[in-house]
């Protein structure tokens, strides 16, 4: 399910084919403001100040751009030689699609009428991010020409000439800049990061906590000491011994069988590096990405699947803690390509537990093809509150998300009651009565997500008539002045 970059897509993005700057071209100057409202002038602040520059022109909808962003190559280069390190170079990420994206897309926020964003581009990006389209004026005379995404330039400080350096590793980018200037760097310059997110369903569970040690210094790391803290008290310590080169794959430091408390904060701290203090203290402490999955208000869920152009290959499952499939969907029909497909499911069980979401593709190439503005993936809601969101790409035949969300074991009741209103009978032949202390609005939805009945300003003793609907299961969204619920209605 590869997505070709068609000429039409280029033109839609305001780009023109064969328009990139040739190697050796003089870099156009610019003065632009980043997301933090800091102004940057390429010549005055960087090139004329002895700093060569790397610029990444990307688009928030671009999957290859997102995959490169996830390598953290530019972030690692910036930590080593940018402002957080020896301050010898400049690094910029510039949103290059001047027509189809807005600033919110950079924060992972989907905007109606705009291209889908792949995620939050500001996370893990210590370098400046620029979305100042007026200042950059891409494609205009004497401005940057961007033919495709991602398109990356290295600009030398003295000659101000450009060279394409697309999707290079941090080491390759460093070596490319070395062609422009001699980098000094910093010795004993390391960073500690939290590993993968840890999710538990209840306090008292044990998990392994993994820290990642990165080397940004110009000498190898042969020894380090890392501690694990719970609410600022040291609960475990580990030593690293090895020979970690600059920009090498981070070393894993594991704290085994840690008993976790949901109310606590856990941090990993790099207390020594090569027998002394690390060069930048701000990079030596990281909060462990830890918590519990979002809890659904009850066991009735809405599952929205965003298909690609091969929906007949798509299926999904929700599993309980025992690994039993408790809900599933798909495959879909060819007519469902690049659409939002809605299912309503009720998760069995009366005790709280966590659930795993499994996405499958019989074509063995994930949910990845097509040009849907909705993107591809799944969102799960409980009472209109989002409890799970996951965009996906080419994951192969299957991908699983353990402890994706939590249900509390509350099922719908045959008689729907709370402190302020009651709905009965259920099941019903069509007439539904209300006893209520507040005015209610009711929206009834079928299992495809289509609204089939609405009623407003329902007062105590009022009824709604659903007898024109076919027999089956429906969802009622009931909202009052002080309370609201989502309930299943069965029409006989």
CATH number of the domain at 210, please. 2.60.40.10
Based on the fold, state whether residues 377 and 472 are members of the same structural domain: no
Distance, first Cα to last Cα, the chain: 44
- What value does the mean pLDDT of the chain take? 89
In a domain, 185, yes or no: no
- Residue that is last in its domain, among 273, 291, 309: 291
177: β partners? none
In a domain, 103, yes or no: yes
Based on the fold, state whether residues 122 and 25 are members of the same structural domain: yes
Based on the fold, state whether residues 152 and 200 are members of the same structural domain: no
In a domain, 1, yes or no: no
Based on the fold, state whether residues 124 and 30 are members of the same structural domain: yes
Spatial separation of the C-alpha atoms in residues 83 and 77, rounded to whole Å: 10
Based on the fold, state whether residues 20 and 154 are members of the same structural domain: yes
Q: Give me the helices (H) in 107-168, please.
A: 133-136
In a domain, 469, yes or no: yes
Q: Could you tell me the pLDDT band of residue 7, with boundaries at 50, 70 and 90?
A: very low
- Whether the full predicted model's pTM is greater than 0.75, yes or no, is no
Long-range contacts of 49-52 (CB under 8 A, 24+ apart): 50/88, 50/157, 50/181, 51/87, 51/88, 51/89, 51/90, 51/157, 52/89, 52/90, 52/154, 52/155, 52/156, 52/157, 52/177, 52/180, 52/181
Based on the fold, state whether residues 146 and 238 are members of the same structural domain: no
In a domain, 184, yes or no: no
Q: How many domains does the chain have?
A: 4
CATH number at residue 476: 2.60.40.3080
In a domain, 346, yes or no: yes
In a domain, 183, yes or no: no
| Domain boundaries, position 26 | 7-178
8 Å CB contact between 52 and 181? yes
Q: Could you tell me the pLDDT band of residue 17, with boundaries at 50, 70 and 90?
A: very low
Mean pLDDT of 53-65: 96
In a domain, 485, yes or no: yes
Based on the fold, state whether residues 223 and 280 are members of the same structural domain: yes
Q: Which pLDDT score is estimated for 372? A: 60
Q: Could you tell me the pLDDT band of residue 409, with boundaries at 50, 70 and 90?
A: confident
Length of the chain: 492
Tokens of 120: 């939050």
Q: Which pLDDT score is estimated for 161? A: 95
* pLDDT, tens digit, 9 for 90 and up, residues 292-308: 888 898 888 999 999 99
Based on the fold, state whether residues 66 and 157 are members of the same structural domain: yes
* Per-residue pLDDT at 5 exceeds 60: no
8 Å CB contact between 127 and 135? no
* Per-residue pLDDT at 16 exceeds 80: no
Tokens 């328009």: give the residue.
Answer: 19
Q: 416 or 55: which carries more pLDDT confidence? A: 55
* pLDDT, tens digit, 9 for 90 and up, residues 251-281: 999 999 999 998 899 999 999 999 999 999 9
* Per-residue pLDDT at 27 exceeds 80: yes
Q: Could you tell me the pLDDT band of residue 11, with boundaries at 50, 70 and 90?
A: very low
454: β partners? 443
Based on the fold, state whether residues 143 and 262 are members of the same structural domain: no
CATH number at residue 142: 3.40.30.10
Q: Which pLDDT score is estimated for 135? A: 86
Based on the fold, state whether residues 23 and 162 are members of the same structural domain: yes
Judged by average pLDDT, the poorest of 143-147, 204-208, 321-325, 449-453 is 449-453
DSSP 46: I
Q: Which pLDDT score is estimated for 410? A: 66
Judged by average pLDDT, the poorest of 93-107, 202-216, 416-430 is 416-430
- Residue that is last in its domain, among 388, 407, 426: 407
Judged by average pLDDT, the poorest of 77-81, 314-318, 387-391, 473-477 is 473-477
Based on the fold, state whether residues 318 and 273 are members of the same structural domain: no
- Residue that is last in its domain, among 178, 199, 216: 178
Spatial separation of the C-alpha atoms in residues 487 and 474, rounded to whole Å: 8
Based on the fold, state whether residues 203 and 323 are members of the same structural domain: no
């Amino acid at each position: 399910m590869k997505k070709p970059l068609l000429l039409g897509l280029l033109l839609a993005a305001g780009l023109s084919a064969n328009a990139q700057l040739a190697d050796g071209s003089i870099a156009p100057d610019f003065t632009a403001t980043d997301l933090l409202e800091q102004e940057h002038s390429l010549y005055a602040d960087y090139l004329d100040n002895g700093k060569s520059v790397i610029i990444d022109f990307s688009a928030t909808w671009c999957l290859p751009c997102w995959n490169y962003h996830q390598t953290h190559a530019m972030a690692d280069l910036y930590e080593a030689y940018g402002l957080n390190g020896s301050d010898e170079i400049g690094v910029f990420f510039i949103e290059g699609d001047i027509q189809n994206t807005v600033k919110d897309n950079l924060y992972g926020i989907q905007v109606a009428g705009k291209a889908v964003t792949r995620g939050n581009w500001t996370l893990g990006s210590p370098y400046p991010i620029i979305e100042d389209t007026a200042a950059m004026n891409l494609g205009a005379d004497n401005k940057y020409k961007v033919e495709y995404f991602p398109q990356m330039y290295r600009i030398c400080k003295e000659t101000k000439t450009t060279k394409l350096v697309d999707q290079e590793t941090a080491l390759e980018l460093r070596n490319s800049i070395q062609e422009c200037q001699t980098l000094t760097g910093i010795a004993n310059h390391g960073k500690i990061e939290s590993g993968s997110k840890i999710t538990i369903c209840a306090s008292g569970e044990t998990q392994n906590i993994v820290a990642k040690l990165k080397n940004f210094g110009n000498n190898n790391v042969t020894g380090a000491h890392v501690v694990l803290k719970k609410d600022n008290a040291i609960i475990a310590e580990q030593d690293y011994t090895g020979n970690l080169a600059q920009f090498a794959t981070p070393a894993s430091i594991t704290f085994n069988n840690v008993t976790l408390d949901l109310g606590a904060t856990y941090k990993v701290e790099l207390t020594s590096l090569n027998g002394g203090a690390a060069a930048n203290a701000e990079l030596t402490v990281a909060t462990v990405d830890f918590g519990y999955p979002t809890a659904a208000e009850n066991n009735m869920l809405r599952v929205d699947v965003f298909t690609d152009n091969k929906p007949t290959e798509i299926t999904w499952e929700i599993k309980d803690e025992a690994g039993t499939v408790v809900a599933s969907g798909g495959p879909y029909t060819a007519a469902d390509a690049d659409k939002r497909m809605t299912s309503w499911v009720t998760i069995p069980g009366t005790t709280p537990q966590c659930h795993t979401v499994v996405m499958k593709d019989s074509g063995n190439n994930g949910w990845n093809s097509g040009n849907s503005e909705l993107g591809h993936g799944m969102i799960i809601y409980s009472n209109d509150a989002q409890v799970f969101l996951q965009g996906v790409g080419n994951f192969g035949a299957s991908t699983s998300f353990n402890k994706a969300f939590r249900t509390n074991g509350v099922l719908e009741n045959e008689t729907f009651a709370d402190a302020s209103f009651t709905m009965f009978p259920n099941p019903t032949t069509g007439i539904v009565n209300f006893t209520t202390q507040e005015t209610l609005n009711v929206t009834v939805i079928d299992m495809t997500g289509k609204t089939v009945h609405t009623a407003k300003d329902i007062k105590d003793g009022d009824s709604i008539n659903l007898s024109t609907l076919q027999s089956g299961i429906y969802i009622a969204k009931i909202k009052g002045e002080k309370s609201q619920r989502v309930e299943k209605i069965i029409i006989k």
